[in-house]
Structure 1
């Protein structure tokens, strides 16, 4: 519920600010993607909880319609959010590391095209597994009533293809790129901090605040870089459990919830930790925006003040 409220708030505030630059465009798209992930993932999660604790619950539809048909679109939205986080890290990293070459490259129109391209990439990478599930009809012999259920032809082959593409190759690439971006940006922040300290010792505080450091980082740039570093760090921490989870599945075929091996409970535990981290990743960015985006903070305060008066 907090994730729903946080992302809806982000979307409203960014619209009030105006989606006029590349960073705001990416953050707006990220909030929308996170909201879609939470919306699509919640019904499968709730269905699994009911199925686990109330196995005899009288379902109006076949249980796996809710679980299977919504799960993979939700994961596609999560992949899209991951790609947007990577795009945010790479664009800021390029602008900070080589400002003269890249600051005029990442315009709003190009960023919109990048967002569309990343969405299409996320969909295409998940198509093999999303096309597996379709609705079929089956008759209950006891009641002679037909009901819909999920048909999964070629599921094993398509799952293997999806695992190779998304759970292993793309996941490792995303993780490495984000670690590199966060490391570079953190180093630039460290450099900027040292340079500003040297300015402070040589001149007045007023002169320091008006200066741009030697690396081309103004006060506004520093706030943006801070926020991107935090968003990237949240991404890295939330993806780490899933990285361990996927690596274990790659090493051992018996590491699956469907098996009766001793790894079954470990699989269940890691999958739940990974799910919890994905929910946190899709929910906590509001704190980053509030602390490091002055326009966001002002608009949110104004919005809350208006709601309080009503």
Structure 2
């Protein structure tokens, strides 16, 4: 099992920082190891693998739909971010796997995971959050300013906005790779040299900036999603009442039905996002409030256990989109049905030919 001695050994140039072993509260090292293996290597691997497959399907479907309208462009960017996020979590599950860790591969998988999976995952979750926020803003404007939104948020501008979201967040995480380097170093507990983390002297300042900006984006994203969803529901309810009073019965029913679909889709997407990302948002707030609650400290075992469960819940957000789109989007459903019909026709033609 993983022991506390196997934690990240911090190096400052050529000198090893002395690690002070303090008693861990609430959760022992052995219990932590078991829970992490279950969450990352069993539950996480299953969810992430399924999610990667469904997001590949989403990318194919959206490309078939042609990226000509703002909604499809935004959902394509969201799907791409979700898939990248799931790939990083899948790699985390591999790194935490005891079989992989005990293999002859010359890497300290815990340390390698921190910089090759942990940092990129945070980056892509922020991208997912910002694109979700953009979608809710766009939908809110469609209701609040129906005559102006098409000129404000054109497909070209949406492409630029989604691209900038990716570029900004990737640029924001790059400094972490300049202070956390992967190099060979000796591990006394394993009696061999492995590729692990080597920290630079200015690491603390750089990671403090990255951590602060990441948390800021997290909180702002939540606020935007919740606020815009509330505004959207309020505006739609008001317009629905007005249309029912001023339109013919048939038209009113049609419009109300259409409005309900928009409301349901936005509420489902934003609701699942809020529920799935809420645990890790609370964890990040906890690391600020309690100094010993983090990667290293008296509550580190509790921190890692909660994170392993939080990331498993977080990955669900990136897996269920295929069901939402199939249920709520007639265009998405039509592409899926056409694809199935084409495959069935090809199979029948091959069978007849044989």
2:73 aligned with 1:25 = yes
Deviations 1:110-152 (CA, angstroms, capped at 9, x unpaired) = 11110111112212322332332223234689xx987533322
Change (3 A) 1:208 1:95: closer
Q: Secondary structure of the equivalent of 1:286? A: helix
Q: Secondary structure of the equivalent of 2:182? A: strand
| Higher-RCO chain (CA-CA 8 Å, sequence separation at least 6) | 2
CA distance in 2, matches of 1:267, 1:71: 14
CA distance in 1, matches of 2:126, 2:101: 34
CA distance in 2, matches of 1:241, 1:9: 28
**Which residue does the alignment assign to 1:7?**
55
CA distance in 2, matches of 1:73, 1:209: 47
**Which residue does the alignment assign to 1:287?**
323
Q: Which runs of 5+ in 1 are unaligned?
A: none
The answer on whether the counterparts of 1:139 and 1:146 sit within 8 Å (CA) in structure 2 is: yes
Per-residue deviation, 1:265:
4.5
CA distance in 1, matches of 2:208, 2:68: 41
The answer on whether the counterparts of 1:134 and 1:152 sit within 8 Å (CA) in structure 2 is: yes
The answer on whether the counterparts of 1:255 and 1:264 sit within 8 Å (CA) in structure 2 is: yes
**Which residue does the alignment assign to 1:60?**
105
Per-residue deviation, 1:277:
2.3
2:334 aligned with 1:298 = yes
CA distance in 2, matches of 1:190, 1:204: 17
CA distance in 1, matches of 2:162, 2:249: 43
CA distance in 2, matches of 1:274, 1:66: 17
CA distance in 2, matches of 1:113, 1:56: 42
Deviations 1:71-106 (CA, angstroms, capped at 9, x unpaired) = 212321221111111111112212211222323221
2:276 aligned with 1:234 = no
Q: Which runs of 5+ in 2 are unaligned?
A: 1-48, 348-354
Deviations 1:24-43 (CA, angstroms, capped at 9, x unpaired) = 10001111111111112211
Deviations 1:152-192 (CA, angstroms, capped at 9, x unpaired) = 2243333322221112x222111111110111112223334
Q: Secondary structure of the equivalent of 2:151? A: coil
**Which residue does the alignment assign to 2:224?**
177
Q: Secondary structure of the equivalent of 1:150? A: strand
Q: Secondary structure of the equivalent of 1:58? A: coil
CA distance in 1, matches of 2:264, 2:100: 47
CA distance in 1, matches of 2:303, 2:186: 34
Kindly tell me the number of residue pairs found equivalent between the two proteins.
295
2:164 aligned with 1:117 = yes
CA distance in 1, matches of 2:119, 2:169: 11
The answer on whether the counterparts of 2:293 and 2:300 sit within 8 Å (CA) in structure 1 is: yes
CA distance in 2, matches of 1:140, 1:277: 34
* TM-score normalised according to structure 2 size: 0.74
Deviates more, 1:60-69 or 1:293-302: 60-69
Q: Secondary structure of the equivalent of 1:19? A: coil
Change (3 A) 1:256 1:284: same
CA distance in 2, matches of 1:198, 1:100: 21
Shift >4 Å, 4+ stretches: 144-147, 195-199
